[in-house]
Amino acid sequence: MSSKKLMNSVTGCADDALAGLVACNPDLQILQGHRVALRSDLESLKGRVALLSGGGSGHEPAHAGFIGKGMLTGVIAGAVFTSPAVGSILAAIRAVAQAGAAGTLLIVKNYTGDRLNFGLAREQARVEGIPVEMVVIGDDSAFTSLKKAGRRGLCGTVLIHKVAGALAEAGMGLDDIVRRVSAAAAAMGTLGASLSSCSVPGSKPTFQLPVDEMELGLGIHGEAGVRRLKMATADEVVKTMIDHMTDPSNESHVPVRSGSSVVLVVNNLGGLSFLELGIMADAAVRCLEARGVKIARALVGTFMSALEMAGLSLTLLLVDDALLKLIDAETTASAWPNVARAHVTGRTRSRAAPAEKPEGTEPTATGGAGSQRAAAILQRVCATLLGLEEHLNALDRAAGDGDCGTTHSRAARAIQEWLKEGPPPSHPDQLLSGLSRLLLEKMGGSSGALYGLFLTAAAQPLKATPGLPAWTAAMDAGLEAMQRYGKAAPGDRTMLDSLWAAGQELHALKTPGADLLQVLSKAVKSAEAAAEATKKMEAGAGRASYISSAKLEQPDPGAVAAAAMLRAILETLQSQSA
């Protein structure tokens, strides 16, 4: 079974993709009758060298995203993962020549089809008297012993587009540009790693990976890599990649060592989330700097993809001040990032946080029976939430994100660490205020904000009024704050349903002589019944409100968590009174 793709047709997808880029970019034009995109201001090139590149489609934004002043003049695109036609390459060469270009440089990735077709077009153009040169880029550092075909052209090719574009914009001649970019290409290496293959439109994935494995050293056309690795942490994967691509025994290594200055490219192969890409970029910077490598510039994003492949490549280009100046030169190419003209290594990456304003002059009371009771209750609540993590996540997947259990477990672990620092406050208002600050900082998500609001508001009635009735007032204050800011009401299928049901029972604490455990027991049963009843409710607030009620067949996870926490409080108090 072929993979799903958003397109009009398999045969027309490359044309449609290029047309979409040109339609949204007034600086580009399609060359009629060809899958060729050119700068719309070709006449401004008169007297300068034109730069043409290209290859198969499916590597977007490469190469057409790098057309612009200071980078490429034009791009010739083939079908997905297929070299472009000789006739289209020749048509592009003729177009820039007719516009007055002082020669044309073809920048070609090292693949057999690209070398043949661009090479043939070059020879035909030279027969017509058009000055054309060609550089073949091979930056792959995967193979420890070089193949006859040489190193594959990968994401480092984009850096060559940038260097050549800056030189051409400065008016350098064709032969000198060839010499300069050839030297830069020789000081560059790229290595890829992926969690999945990709699938050409209309076809199945090119290879299969077990869930516990990943591929190292793969290309950009869905071909398998040089070896498979067991899944590992981001730090471990990056270390393996950099070890491999800088190992002197590897014939395709890039000679990076302590003291070297490099441009780092962290390239998304298409399907990696930006979250993962940021994690891998951080790991790469730390790994290189730990080896004494100076990172002059770092580019992070999608530059040369392989359709939807969930992976990345790392590129290292050795640079001096002259080469760095070319990387920094201005360009209008839409896919080139806005990179700061400042060294990555050596700068301060953090700023001291402002000092917190003191909460007040009243000292926090700790120790004694109240503190011990609070610690026992909190430990029981934490254990309950940690035990429910997977169950709550499963319930939450009906609403889309599936992280309710993770969020509550994060809160539980934060509370456990807080308790390790010392006994909790013994005064109820100080305890709730302390928990509020902790959850607002550590829990995250809307749950963290709502519980923070609840506890902050609930703490206020406990400051002045002692005794059980104060807990009724505290519950009411907390519920009112949650409703005011969370915009939920009882019956909206949220955590409020459980807390509201319990709150109504807690009003019995205002009765003289009320039995705490009896009242709390009824409150817990009401909360659990309310949580179960959310199965039949239509969500009126929160993320679940965007989901059809027919799909929400399970109770609300927030309501389940709230009821479970109340149950943990009750059982702790019961055990202490036994």
What residues form the annotated binding site for substrate? 56-59, 109, 114
- Distance, in Å, from the CA atom of 567 to the CA atom of 204, rounded to the nearest integer, reads 51
- Residue 48 CA, chain-centre distance (Å), reads 40
List residues forming the annotated binding site: 56-59, 109, 114
| 242 neighbors 288 (Cβ within 8 angstroms) | yes
- Pick the closest to residue 381 from 485, 455, 453 (CA basis): 455
Answer whether the bond into residue 63 is a cis peptide, omega within 30°: yes
Q: Name the 3-class secondary structure at 372.
A: helix
Catalytic residue check, 507: no
What the block records as the tokens of 274 is 């930006």
- Distance, in Å, from the CA atom of 31 to the CA atom of 28, rounded to the nearest integer, reads 10
User: Annotated catalytic residue: which of 63, 161, 221, 408?
Assistant: 221
Which residues does 401 contact at the CB level (< 8 Å), separation at least 6? 543
One-letter amino acid of 113: G
- Residue 446 CA, chain-centre distance (Å), reads 21
What the block records as the tokens of 546 is 């965007």
Instruction: Give the helix ranges, DSSP H, for 190-246.
Output: 234-246
One-letter amino acid of 310: A
| 429 neighbors 370 (Cβ within 8 angstroms) | no
- Pick the closest to residue 412 from 531, 561, 571 (CA basis): 561
What sign for the dihedral angle of Cα 178, 180, 186, 192?
A: negative
| 149 neighbors 106 (Cβ within 8 angstroms) | no
- Distance, in Å, from the CA atom of 15 to the CA atom of 21, rounded to the nearest integer, reads 10
What the block records as the tokens of 344 is 């990555």
- Would you name the residues annotated as active-site residues? 221
